[in-house]
Amino acid sequence: MNRLDKLVDLIGRHAPADGSHETPMPGVKLLRASSPTMPMPVIYAPTLCLIAQGTKQANLGATTYRYDPAYFLVASVELPVMGSVIEASASHPYLSLQLDLDSAELSDLAIRYSASAKDEATSPAGLTLNRTTPALLDAAIRLVGLLDTPHDIDALAPLTIREILYRLLTGPDNSVVRHMAQADSRLNQIARAIVWIRAHFRGPCRIEHAAEVAGMSRSTFHLHFKAVTTMSPIEFRTQLRMQEARRLMVSDAADAASAGFQVGYESPSQFSRDYARIFGMPPARHASQTRGQITPRQAGY
């Protein structure tokens, strides 16, 4: 049995049903889908997504990221993404491991295993795809394999997770992880601004204030914000508003006008235009088509 087959077997046994499965290991989830899923808006937190089988697609603004067992995805900051499983079947389900990335642990490893910083004019993208290495795959197999011996989890899971973080930090495409590990990096400055925008997206959300939170001039802030998120700060705020409006209409049965008002729009017509531009149809019709087609289990995709 090769490495991938071993990981497929492990995840398949410990995630026997479609959906997102928590594990006894904090920050570690297993995901399964036995058919392609509809695009779902979700906020990607700092995360590693390593696919054992199947293919997934994530859309961030106008940029599409498609990944499979050959490439893993790293989300370095909180980003509003449209994600979907695009290759999966009952006989060959989509199976993946998701690991939350601990910035404090990364920082400690970066101090112990330093590397010369690259001189980059802009920050790395908030989503990156990197080739899956045998060493990373071996560590992932040992981490999921601990679910077969739960009495070993307390002692060995922290060590194995630390090894995975080390592999990310010292791998060939480690730029974004190195930036995550540096408290004063441009990436982390943008991350602070993203947290502020997420807390204030319903209001005016002055860009000057967001730049102050990041500790940058307005022009520098725009440059690095777009490099990380692929969007301007205003476009980013609009994405957050549309995701929340969709949730209000689908989950809480709010009407379009009420949803638009609750996410900060004073003009229903402007809300409808922005919503249709992002989701491809007017809000009421989109909510009607979406309602009843999704289940809570799909939220993890």
Q: For residue range 245-269, what is the model confidence (pLDDT) as tens digits?
A: 998 998 888 999 999 999 999 999 9
Same domain, 166 and 199: no
Same domain, 87 and 219: no
Q: Does position 94 have pLDDT exceeding 50, yes or no?
A: yes
Q: State the DSSP string of 80-127.
A: EEEEEEEE--SSS-EEEEEEE--HHHHHHHHHHT--PPP--SSPPPSE
Same domain, 100 and 83: yes
Q: How far is 62 from 281, CA to CA, in rounded Å?
A: 17
Name the strands in the sheet holding 40-44, side by side, starting at the edge strand that comes first in the sequence: 40-44, 79-87, 55-60, 63-67
Same domain, 47 and 135: yes
Same domain, 76 and 207: no
Fill in the DSSP letter of residue 132: P
Same domain, 114 and 58: yes
Q: For residue 57, what pLDDT band results from cuts at 50, 70 and 90?
A: very high
Our count of domains for the chain comes to 3
Fill in the DSSP letter of residue 45: P
Fill in the DSSP letter of residue 145: H
- Report the SS3 class of residue 256: helix
Which CATH number do you get for residue 281?
Answer: 1.10.10.60
| Contact (Cβ atoms closer than 8 angstroms) between residue 157 and residue 189 | no
Same domain, 291 and 159: no
Size of the chain in residues: 301
Same domain, 255 and 200: no
Q: For the ranges 12-16, 30-34, 215-219, which has the lowest average pLDDT?
A: 215-219
* 193's tokens: 């601004």
Please give the model's pTM, rounded to 2 decimal places.
0.86
- Mean pLDDT confidence for 223-239: 93
Q: Which residues does residue 43 pair with via DSSP β-bridges, in sequence order?
A: 80
Q: How far is CA 241 from the centre of its chain?
A: 18
Same domain, 42 and 24: yes
* 55's tokens: 């293919």
Angle between helices 134-145 and 153-170 (to 10 degrees): 160
| Contact (Cβ atoms closer than 8 angstroms) between residue 78 and residue 22 | no
**pLDDT, tens digit (0-9, with 9 covering 90-100), for 3-13:** 899 999 999 99
Res 297: pLDDT: 46
Average pLDDT, the chain: 90
**pLDDT, tens digit (0-9, with 9 covering 90-100), for 134-180:** 999 999 999 999 999 999 999 999 999 999 999 999 887 778 888 88
Q: Does position 298 have pLDDT exceeding 80, yes or no?
A: no
Q: How far is 57 from 235, CA to CA, in rounded Å?
A: 21
Angle between helices 233-251 and 218-229 (to 10 degrees): 50
* Domain coverage including residue 190: 186-231
Comparison of pLDDT for 125 and 52, the residue scoring more: 52
Same domain, 148 and 251: no
Which CATH number do you get for residue 95?
Answer: 2.60.120
From residue 59, how far is each of 67, 81, 127 by CA, in Å? Answer: 12, 6, 10
Same domain, 256 and 222: no
Same domain, 198 and 145: no
* 146's tokens: 């601990």
